[in-house]
């Protein structure tokens, strides 16, 4: 047994190990790469003319796995292994590295040498880059931001020798000129965000820019793995969401509600997805939703609603609710800063009101309130702007709780930006009935359809109907009112955790 070291020793794929190292620019596990490649027509890997581009190369895993398939697929057309390898690496696979370090790593993975003009490379090029290029690009600063990617000049204007993170693909208006050739397949895992210089390490998404630039290359197929937050839009993503949902060339999406299921150990708020864009084949999209290892697939148009509904089993329930044409809670929920007070606002030494903030309460003067004055003297139902569920993702059991806190504020009280006001009433009984309504599986399930981050905004209440709060509501009454079946009820309750129904306050 001692001599059988190759048969018994643990010999992991080094790129699988690298996939677990970073939560900034996430490395892709080989298994995920192959799942994406499996969406492509198999004949692409049997043709010596097919050209592939990874415009955001990091570990080189996409190009490596493509090369493996081409080496097998072209064995009949080019029987000599070295000639086959030379043809594939010189004529079929190309990459743009995102940093100088990843260019070396990608070349090492693909050519077995970080310098493909060295004697150690399995195919010989005349230069040290081969077909995996890296060019140090400068940001185009305008009013403190990059005109191409929106990066903060304060954060990314750096001295020589430091990475600028000015990615080549998205720092040009003519991406097709980078290689000056037509590609059949563009594939990759782009960087997800960059600091925009805002408060508390504020960052803006940039992955959508890579998708938009890749489409300008007009490949036959485009597949990328990106955060799923675009399903609901938001910061910098509303236009991109509209583009994607109306694009009939998006033919498949695989969506992981919890990013840990495809990127172990990495938290990505709202989950992760990969998609297939097919230039020459328009139609409905096959959507596969994965949560807690359960897989649900449906074929439908993406733009039936303002957001992309992840799980097809939610759709009949939403249809039944919306069919009654009732006003929705989004029309009455306050915007952020319901009283115009930021998260940093604290009680003062004296005042005729009480200010509630995250860690307590204290006096506050009425004359400092200029927003939401009509709510001050009512009973107010509040909930935290930040939800209970970590990064907006379901827990290990696949369920969400949604709300971290629900409370009733009495008259003569206000709150800062930590909370949203869900409703305000003259009578305490109406406020208590709203709290009971909010704690139902039904209410929280409808809010969960908008859970693409840890924030619960006003828009997240767009599917939740307003009820007559002169009477109390329970799940049983709501299920009966909207004609939900036993199967639909079971689905709702399989997705949402129970919540304490006693009292007017619920702390996680």
For the chain, the first-to-last Cα distance in angstroms comes to: 54
Q: Could you tell me the two tokens for 374?
A: 């009509």
Closest by CA position to 296, among listed 326, 260, 256, 329 = 256
Coil, helix or strand for 300?
strand
Tens-digit pLDDT profile for residues 112-147: 999 999 999 999 999 999 999 999 889 999 999 999
Q: What is the pLDDT of residue 16?
A: 57
d(CA 411, CA 216): 57
pLDDT of residue 454: 80
Work out the angle at residue 454's Cα, subtended by the Cα atoms of residues 395 and 29, and round it to the nearest 5 degrees. 60
Give this prediction's pTM.
0.87
* Cβ pair 429, 377 in contact under 8 A: no
The vertex-388 CA angle with 386 and 389, nearest 5°, equals 105
Indicate if the pLDDT at residue 12 is higher than 80. no
Question: Which residues lie closer than 8 Å to 391 by C-beta, 6 or more apart?
Answer: 267, 268, 269, 270, 453, 454
**pLDDT value of position 388:** 78
Return mean pLDDT, the chain. 90
* Nearest CA among 462, 445, 497, 451 for reference residue 270: 451
Segment 70-127, tens digit of pLDDT? 999 999 999 999 999 999 999 999 999 998 889 999 999 999 999 999 999 999 999 9
CB under 8 Å to 360, separation ≥6 — which residues? 347
Average pLDDT over residues 22-34: 77
pLDDT digits 0-9 by tens, 227-278: 999 999 877 899 999 999 999 999 999 999 888 888 887 878 889 999 999 9
Smallest CA-to-CA distance from 188 within 266, 106, 287, 258 is with 106
For 24, other C-beta atoms within 10 Å of its C-beta total 9
Q: Is 286 exposed, middle or buried (0-12, 13-18, 19+ CB in 10 A)?
A: middle
pLDDT band, very low/low/confident/very high, at 395 (cuts 50, 70, 90): confident
Q: Is pLDDT at 24 greater than 90 in this prediction?
A: no
| 53 burial type by CB count under 10 A (0-12 exposed, 13-18 middle, 19+ buried) | buried
For 449-474, write each residue's pLDDT tens digit: 998 888 888 999 999 999 999 999 99
Read off the pLDDT band of 408 (50, 70, 90).
very high
Question: How far is Cα 430 from Cα 408, in angstroms, rounded to an integer?
Answer: 11
CB 231 within 8 A of CB 452: yes
Query: How buried is residue 288: exposed, middle or buried, by Cβ count under 10 Å (0-12/13-18/19+)?
Result: middle
| Full set of structural domains in the chain with CATH | 10-310 (3.40.50.150), 322-507 (no CATH)
β-strands 405-409, 506-507: how paired?
antiparallel
pLDDT digits (tens, 9 = 90+) for 410-435: 999 999 999 999 999 999 999 999 99
**Over residues 480-490, mean pLDDT:** 98
Query: How big is the CA angle at 482 (ends 468 and 505), to the nearest 5 degrees?
Result: 50
> By percentage, how much of the chain surpasses pLDDT 90?
75
DSSP character string of 29-95: PHHHHHHHHTTS-GGGGG-TT--EEEEEESSSHHHHHHHHHHHHHTTTTS-SHHHHHHHHHHHTEEE
Residues in Cβ contact with 476 at an 8 Å cutoff, skipping those fewer than 6 apart: none
Q: Three-state SS for 193?
A: strand
Note the pLDDT tens digit of each residue in 34-59: 999 999 999 999 999 999 999 999 99
What is the Rg, in whole angstroms, of the alpha carbon atoms belonging to the chain?
A: 27
Question: What is the pLDDT, as a whole number, of residue 5?
Answer: 31
Give me the pLDDT at residue 199, please. 56
Q: pLDDT tens across 310-337, in order?
A: 999 999 999 999 999 999 999 999 988 9
Angstrom distance (rounded) from CA 348 to CA 361: 10
Across 185-198, b (16+ Cβ under 10 Å) vs e yields bbbbbbbbbbbbbe
How many residues are recorded in the chain? 508
pLDDT (0 to 100) of residue 261:
86
pLDDT class of 6 with cuts at 50, 70, 90 = very low
pLDDT at 9: 42
Overall average pLDDT of the 398-421 stretch: 93
The enclosing H or E element of 185 equals strand 185-188
Sign of the alpha-carbon torsion through 295, 296, 302, 307: negative
Band of residue 198 on the pLDDT scale cut at 50, 70, 90: low
> What are the distances in angstroms from CA 377 to CA 342, 412, 420?
20, 5, 16
- The DSSP symbol for 292 reads T
Burial class (CB in 10 A: 0-12, 13-18, 19+), 334: buried
């Amino acid at each position: 047994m001692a001599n059988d070291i190759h048969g018994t020793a643990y010999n992991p794929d080094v790129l699988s190990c690298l996939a677990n190292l970073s939560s900034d620019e996430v490395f892709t596990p080989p298994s995920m790469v192959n799942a994406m490649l499996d969406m492509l027509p198999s004949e692409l890997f049997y043709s010596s003319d097919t050209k592939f581009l990874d415009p955001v190369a990091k570990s080189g895993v996409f190009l490596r796995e493509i090369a493996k398939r081409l080496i097998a697929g072209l064995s009949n057309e080019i029987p000599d292994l070295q000639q086959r390898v030379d043809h594939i690496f010189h004529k079929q696979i190309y990459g743009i590295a995102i940093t100088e370090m990843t260019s070396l790593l990608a070349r090492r993975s693909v050519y077995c040498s970080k310098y493909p003009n060295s004697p150690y490379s399995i195919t010989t090029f005349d230069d040290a880059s081969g077909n995996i290029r890296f060019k140090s690009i400068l940001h185009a600063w305008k009013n403190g931001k990059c005109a191409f990617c929106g990066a903060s000049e304060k954060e990314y204007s750096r001295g020589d020798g430091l990475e600028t993170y000015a990615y080549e693909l998205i720092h040009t208006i003519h991406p097709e000129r980078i290689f000056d050739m037509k590609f059949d397949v563009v594939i990759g895992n782009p960087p997800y965000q960059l600091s925009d210089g805002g408060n508390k390490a504020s960052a803006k998404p940039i992955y959508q820019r890579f998708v938009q630039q890749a489409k300008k290359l007009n490949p036959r197929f485009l597949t990328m793995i990106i955060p799923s937050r675009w399903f609901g839009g938001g910061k910098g993503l509303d236009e991109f969401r509209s583009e994607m949902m109306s694009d009939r060339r998006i033919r498949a999406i695989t969506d992981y509600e919890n990013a840990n299921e495809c990127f172990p150990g990495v938290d990505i708020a709202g989950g992760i997805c990969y998609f297939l864009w097919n230039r020459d084949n328009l139609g409905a999209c096959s959507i596969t939703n994965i949560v807690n290892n359960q897989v649900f697939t449906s074929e439908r148009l993406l733009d039936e609603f303002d957001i992309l509904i992840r799980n097809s089993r939610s759709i009949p329930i939403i249809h039944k609710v919306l069919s009654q044409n009732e006003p929705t809670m989004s029309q009455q929920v306050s915007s952020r800063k319901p009283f115009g007070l930021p998260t940093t606002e604290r009680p003062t030494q004296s005042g005729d009101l009480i200010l509630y903030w995250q860690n307590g309460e204290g006096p506050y003067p009425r004359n400092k309130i200029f927003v939401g004055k009509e709510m001050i003297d009512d009973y107010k139902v509040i909930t935290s702007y930040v939800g209970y569920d970590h990064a907006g993702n379901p827990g290990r059991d696949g369920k969400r709780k949604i709300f971290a806190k629900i409370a009733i504020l009495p008259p003569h009280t206000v709150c800062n930006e930590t909370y949203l006001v869900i409703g305000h009433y003259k009578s305490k009984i109406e406020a208590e009935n709203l709290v009971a309504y909010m704690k139902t599986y039904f209410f929280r399930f409808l809010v969960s359809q908008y859970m693409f981050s840890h924030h619960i905004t006003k828009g997240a209440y767009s599917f939740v109907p307003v009820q007559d709060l002169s009477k109390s509501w329970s799940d049983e009454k709501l299920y009966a009112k909207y004609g939900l079946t036993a199967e639909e009820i079971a689905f709702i309750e399989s997705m949402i955790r129970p919540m304490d129904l006693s009292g007017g306050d619920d702390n996680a």
